[in-house]
Structure 1
Amino acid sequence: YVVTEYGIARLEGKTIRERALELISIAHPKFRNELLNWAKAHKYVPEEILPFPEVEYPEELKRYVTLKDGTQVILRPIKPSDATMKQHLFYALSKESIIKRYLGPLKSLPWDRIWPYVIIDYKNEMVIVAVVIEEGLETMIGIGSYSKIPNTDSAELALVVRDDWQGRGVGTEMLKYLIELAIANGFKTLKAWVLVENAVMMHLFKKCGYKMKYRLENGVYEVVLDLSQPVKE
């Protein structure tokens, strides 16, 4: 572990690229992009990585939840060094889960699609990962996000859970936390697009505790959660 006033870097079992990104992310925000450019010049990290926003990693948003079966799961904001774990999660998903998450088949998740997802401002964009500790190391089992829709007080919502962890409450906990964070950051509604055959996700939204509206078009539900109207389950 390396600890600074800007966060904690966990380096054990990680690649050079992951270690470099971990250390950059806990440096003073003013110096992160200078360090990133140095790491790029020395080939420690890929050139495609986007500049770091000058924001501190919100360590205080890390949360421990216990599933109904007693399993403890960590929910926390994503870090740039999570890029590899996010890619591993994608390739661990079944074809069906990928189609439901991305509304169509997707054979690969290249790095240029990952970097914008792991380098965020933690306000207008939020990504929460669900991780468990296996043999002393973190393993990502789910990921959920919201992203501000420009010029609105609404955000687009999406989440996915690894197949072998589905049905255990991971998605429920991620959705609950994303809603909490969206409200704290001033959003009034969350929008999601759900394939008509994805009954599990629709059920998850219906029991989330907020008024839900939806309409069906071309086999896809447009779902709107009104965060100003909580409802009793």
Structure 2
Amino acid sequence: MDLFTQCSPDELVTVAARLRPLRAERGQVLMRQGEEAAFFVLIQSGEVEVSHSGDDGSVVWGEASAGVIVGEIALLRDKPRTATVTATAEVTGFIGDEKAFAAIVDLPGVSDRLLRTVRQRLAAFITPIPVRFKGDTTLLLRPVLPGDTERISSPTVEFSSETLYRRFMSTRAPTPSLMNYLFHVDYIDHFVWVLADGEDGPVVADVRFVRAVDNPGVAEIAFIVADDYQGRGIGSFLMDAAIIAARVGGVQRFTARMLSENNSMRAIFDRFGAEWERDEPGVVTAEFDVPPIESVRIEPELVSEIRAMTREVVRASGS
């Protein structure tokens, strides 16, 4: 299989021992929305349809073919399936559990190939939303995708030492491992909106929230805007976009930790009645309830687009 072209037979022995062969006829349901996730499927040949039935009766669907893994996300989260997977042609492949998937990801070259596949799968559900800001600036809003780590590191986008200091509390640029974490999201427990300057342009701003492990109703929020794009209302807009995504995902309260001198971010949080406490010298924390979507300051039509996109990417990533 193309997924394993960089692996030697010896490296595949451990993985092969954890997999079971699969053969499915056209029309056979491999996974069903709502059922317990006990396995993933690695498709060797054939095609499947991935569909999700929404509360409003709508059905969202996509396709997957040879070299794609389906069902691993729900398995890793230990949560019910969010989509139904049905063979649309005869399918051959393999079935594995959580340990088998962990072994696959550790193989040479596999992780990068999987990230590219995930990006393609998610991108099929996403049409970036154009948003106009002050200074006649139009940027594209979308959820973060694998590969955006490099796009936010574009040499054409400058994050000054002051900007990095305020966001990461360090004058040094984030390490590759930190950036990998920041852009490794599942859209359920870790959600990120980005603003890109053009369809294939660099990422110039982002906002993210990460749920607390012991309380999924609470999430820590943070955002950053490149130097040349500051002062155009981007931070306030990203806050509103985060509120919409949080509401869709069931997050009820935001927390934040920042430098006490970060007045622009503090002003945004004060708009929602943030409660402030000193954490350590020069650092403060904020807490506030996630307000209703009706409180955001963007047009109702744009609110509807953002809410719909949130739902689409959550469905697409959660099977």
Q: What is the TM-score when the length of structure 1 is the normalising length?
A: 0.71
Distance 1:126 1:63 in 2: 17
Aligned CA distance change for structure 1 residues 228 and 132 (closer, same or farther; 3 Å) = closer
Whether the 8 Å contact between 2:154 and 2:202 is mirrored in structure 1 is no
- Equivalent residue, structure 1, for 2:142: 76
Distance 1:188 1:200 in 2: 23
Q: Does 1:149 align with 2:215?
A: no
Which structure 1 segments of 5+ residues have no match? Answer: 7-23
Distance 1:211 1:231 in 2: 13
1:29 is displaced (CA, Å) by 4.5
Distance 1:91 1:102 in 2: 17
Aligned CA distance change for structure 1 residues 158 and 95 (closer, same or farther; 3 Å) = same
1:77 is displaced (CA, Å) by 0.8
- Equivalent residue, structure 2, for 1:227: 290
Distance 2:155 2:220 in 1: 21
Deviation sequence 1:39-94 (CA, Å, 0-9, x none): 716xx949xx989889x527347432111333211111111121211233798211
Aligned CA distance change for structure 1 residues 144 and 61 (closer, same or farther; 3 Å) = farther
Which structure 2 segments of 5+ residues have no match? Answer: 1-48, 51-63, 73-100, 298-319
Q: Does 1:204 align with 2:273?
A: no
Whether the 8 Å contact between 2:116 and 2:146 is mirrored in structure 1 is no
Q: How many residues align?
A: 201
Which amino acid in structure 2 is aligned with residue 172 of structure 1? S
- Equivalent residue, structure 1, for 2:247: 183
Which amino acid in structure 1 is aligned with residue 141 of structure 2? L
1:54-93 counterparts in 2 under 5 A?
57=122, 59-60=125-126, 62-88=128-154, 92-93=158-159
Q: Does 1:30 align with 2:70?
A: yes
Aligned CA distance change for structure 1 residues 145 and 155 (closer, same or farther; 3 Å) = same
Whether the 8 Å contact between 1:155 and 1:191 is mirrored in structure 2 is yes
Q: What is the TM-score when the length of structure 2 is the normalising length?
A: 0.53
Rg larger in structure: 2
| Counterpart selection for 2:184 from 106, 109, 119 | 119
- Secondary structure of the structure 1 residue equivalent to 2:187: coil
- Equivalent residue, structure 2, for 1:131: 196
Whether the 8 Å contact between 2:152 and 2:202 is mirrored in structure 1 is no
Distance 1:189 1:214 in 2: 14
Distance 2:253 2:155 in 1: 28
Whether the 8 Å contact between 1:77 and 1:127 is mirrored in structure 2 is yes
| Counterpart selection for 2:276 from 207, 214, 231 | 214
Distance 2:138 2:156 in 1: 22
Aligned CA distance change for structure 1 residues 68 and 50 (closer, same or farther; 3 Å) = closer
Which amino acid in structure 2 is aligned with residue 80 of structure 1? P
Deviation sequence 1:151-197 (CA, Å, 0-9, x none): 11111111110011100111111111011101110011111112111
1:102-113 counterparts in 2 under 5 A?
102-105=168-171, 107-113=172-178
- Equivalent residue, structure 2, for 1:99: 165
- Equivalent residue, structure 1, for 2:25: none
Which amino acid in structure 2 is aligned with residue 126 of structure 1? F
Taking every aligned residue pair, what percent have the same amino acid on both sides? 20
Aligned CA distance change for structure 1 residues 81 and 109 (closer, same or farther; 3 Å) = same
- Secondary structure of the structure 2 residue equivalent to 1:97: helix
1:7-22 counterparts in 2 under 5 A?
none
